DNA sequence: ATGTCC
């Protein structure tokens, strides 16, 4: 888009002053190149978000922003319930609590090298991936309830994982305030055989090598050293989250008039935080968060089993688990006053800085790990939260490379088979049940993750700690 | 993202 539509506030900050029905400014963090390459729809969607009731400070877009359903993906917006603030299902996204977790393996790349194929086989065999993938776990009504209210904590109680995992998960593995009775029978039905599965699209399980360290002090505390092998899991709440999103979008769209909310775009459907529908969505969405936390916890267990068949006796400790599709009640300083706000992060990662009370002791000095997944065959990054991020975007950072091209366009332009061969030549093993899926995920269909992360770092949204390069990628 | 259209 045309950068002349913005006032450039500093090197990485571009502002649109409120006009028309906008209640607050819209702000995009980017450099001129990333901004030029962004779709005009990001501008339209972000300025639309800025019109919503009760929005506080500004509507923000992260450097990986691209157009999404209603809200842009890479969007951050906070709402004050005391000022008629709203919650929007489109502001969370269809894949509720989609997120990333990274595990230490204690291996280095030289130890892995001779066993790469064997490990790829084992992971592929053990972790179900792909559209409609099902697992070996089947949830009856009681176990479903336990999962929806207990998250990763429930998974742990069921025997999936280790007690020390919980401290290294957002919300300590269990999202409070989940109201399972607002999760429909159909959402439950879709999920009952899908626990411990990756799903499709940009979801993956990746074995990675620590390729570069930017901050040795923080990297050491995060347990990352050059040539260490780590495993990263990227997935969310599968069919259940999608069903919750679908149902509430519809209900919110139908009741907008009743709440006298004027929507510039039907896709921005929302409900007041203090309304019955708003509260109902929050309860169901939090159950969706628990589903995603439990799912990643079970996949972690399966990953540990798979790795143990190749490297017996190995221990996979959790670095951290972060979500990037949520709406969370958080306290932030607004005009010198502490306010309770509902922060929507859609394709944006929470990035609490040093000293934040919600962080476990191990991250109190460093800020939380901010895990940024790259696209297939490209690098991923580990960053750490900063204190200034709270003033910049309610303690948020980017979540990945961000799409630069639609799935349809990508599948026309590339062939899955060819991509797999090209990546194999670079020593990267891709395993996927869908070659079309691989084509849709072609590295060039995404923005340059390194450019995105550099901007996040320079904008102070989060600080670069380490770069990870893919070795094995199991894709949905 | 998604039993890639109930």
Distance A72 CA to B4 C1' (A): 21
Task: Report yes or no on A454 lying in a domain.
Answer: yes
Task: Report yes or no on A70 lying in a domain.
Answer: yes
- Can you give the residue range of the structural domain that contains A241? 3-404+446-475
* Protein-contacted bases of chain B (C-beta within 7 A): 1-4
For residue A391, what pLDDT is reported? 96
Footprint of strand B on the protein (CB under 7 A): A 94-95, 98, 131-132, 186, 189-190, 194, 199-203, 235-236, 238-239, 242-243, 407, 434, 437, 476
For residue A420, what pLDDT is reported? 96
Task: Report yes or no on A439 lying in a domain.
Answer: no
The residues, any chain, with a CB within 8 Å of residue A228's CB and separated by 6 or more, are: A104, A105, A107, A108, A109, A209, A210
Q: A141 among the known binding-site residues? A: no
Task: Report yes or no on A212 lying in a domain.
Answer: yes
Please confirm, yes or no, whether A399 is among the known catalytic residues: yes
Distance A474 CA to B1 C1' (A): 17
In order along its 476 residues, chain A shows pLDDT tens digits of: 999 999 999 999 999 999 999 999 999 999 999 999 999 999 999 999 999 999 999 999 999 999 999 999 999 999 999 999 999 999 999 999 999 999 999 999 999 999 999 999 999 999 999 999 999 999 999 999 999 999 999 999 999 999 999 999 999 999 999 999 999 999 999 999 999 999 999 999 999 999 999 999 999 999 999 999 999 999 999 999 999 999 999 999 999 999 999 899 999 999 999 999 999 999 999 999 999 999 999 999 999 999 999 999 999 999 999 999 999 999 999 989 999 999 999 999 999 999 999 999 999 999 999 999 999 999 999 999 999 999 999 999 999 998 999 999 999 999 999 999 999 999 999 999 999 999 999 999 999 999 999 999 999 999 999 999 999 999 98
Task: Report yes or no on A143 lying in a domain.
Answer: yes
Within A327-415, where are the H helices?
389-393, 407-413
Measured distance CA(A267)–CA(A248) in Å, rounded? 11
Distance A200 CA to B3 C1' (A): 12
Measured distance CA(A208)–CA(A102) in Å, rounded? 10
CATH number at residue A218: 3.90.1860.10
Q: A133 among the known binding-site residues? A: no
Closest CA to A65 of A454, A467, A452, A459: A452
The residues, any chain, with a CB within 8 Å of residue A21's CB and separated by 6 or more, are: A51, A262, A264
Task: Report yes or no on A273 lying in a domain.
Answer: yes
**Number of domains chain A contains:** 1
pTM of the model: 0.98
Q: A204 among the known binding-site residues? A: yes
Structure tokens at A252: 């919110």
Task: Report yes or no on A426 lying in a domain.
Answer: no
First and final C-alpha spacing in chain A? 32
Q: A380 among the known binding-site residues? A: yes
Task: Report yes or no on A419 lying in a domain.
Answer: no
Distance A216 CA to B2 C1' (A): 40
For residue A407, what pLDDT is reported? 93
């Amino acid at each position: 888009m045309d950068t002349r539509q913005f006032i450039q506030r500093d090197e990485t900050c571009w502002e649109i002053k409120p006009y028309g029905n906008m209640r607050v400014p819209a702000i995009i963090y980017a450099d001129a190149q990333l901004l030029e390459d962004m779709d005009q729809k990001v501008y339209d969607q972000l300025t639309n978000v800025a019109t919503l009731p009760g929005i506080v400070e500004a509507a923000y877009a992260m450097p990986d922003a691209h157009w999404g359903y209603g809200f842009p993906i890479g969007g951050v917006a906070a709402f004050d319930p005391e000022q008629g603030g709203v919650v929007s299902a489109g502001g969370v996204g269809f894949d509720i609590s989609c997120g990333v977790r990274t595990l230490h393996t204690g291996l280095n790349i030289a130890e892995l090298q001779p066993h790469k194929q064997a490990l790829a086989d084992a992971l592929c065999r053990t972790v179900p991936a792909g559209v409609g993938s099902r697992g070996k776990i089947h949830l009856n009504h009681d176990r479903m309830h336990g999962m929806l209210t207990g998250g990763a904590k429930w998974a742990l109680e069921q025997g999936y994982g280790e007690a020390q995992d919980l401290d290294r998960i957002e919300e300590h593995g269990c999202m409070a305030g989940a109201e399972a009775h607002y999760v429909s029978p159909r959402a439950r039905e879709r999920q009952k055989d899908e626990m411990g599965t990756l799903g499709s699209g940009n979801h993956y399980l990746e074995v990675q090598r620590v390729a570069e360290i930017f901050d040795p002090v923080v990297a050491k505390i995060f347990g990352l050293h050059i040539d260490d092998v780590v495993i990263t899991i990227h997935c969310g709440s599968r069919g259940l989250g999608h069903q919750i999103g679908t149902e509430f979008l519809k209900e919110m769209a139908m009741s907008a008039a009743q709440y006298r909310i004027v929507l510039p775009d039907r896709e921005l459907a929302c409900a007041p935080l203090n309304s019955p529908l708003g509260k109902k969505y929050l309860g169901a969405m939090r159950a969706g968060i628990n589903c995603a936390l439990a799912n990643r916890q079970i996949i972690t267990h399966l990953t540990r089993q798979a790795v143990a068949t190749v490297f017996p006796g190995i221990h996979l400790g959790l670095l951290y688990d972060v979500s990037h599709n949520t709406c969370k009640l958080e306290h932030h300083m607004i005009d010198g006053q502490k306010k309770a706000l509902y922060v929507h992060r859609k394709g944006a990662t929470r990035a609490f800085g040093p000293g934040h009370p919600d962080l476990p002791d191990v991250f109190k000095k460093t800020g939380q790990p901010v895990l940024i997944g790259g696209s297939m065959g490209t690098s991923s990054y580990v960053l750490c939260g900063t204190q200034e991020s709270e003033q910049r975007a309610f303690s948020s950072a980017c979540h990945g490379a961000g799409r630069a091209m639609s799935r349809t366009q990508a599948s026309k332009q590339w062939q899955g088979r060819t991509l797999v061969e090209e990546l194999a030549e670079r020593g990267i093993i891709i395993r996927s049940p869908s070659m079309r899926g691989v084509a849709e995920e072609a590295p060039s269909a995404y923005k340059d993750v390194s450019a995105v992360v550099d901007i996040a770092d320079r904008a102070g949204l989060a600080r670069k700690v380490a770069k990870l390069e893919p070795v094995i990628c199991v894709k949905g």
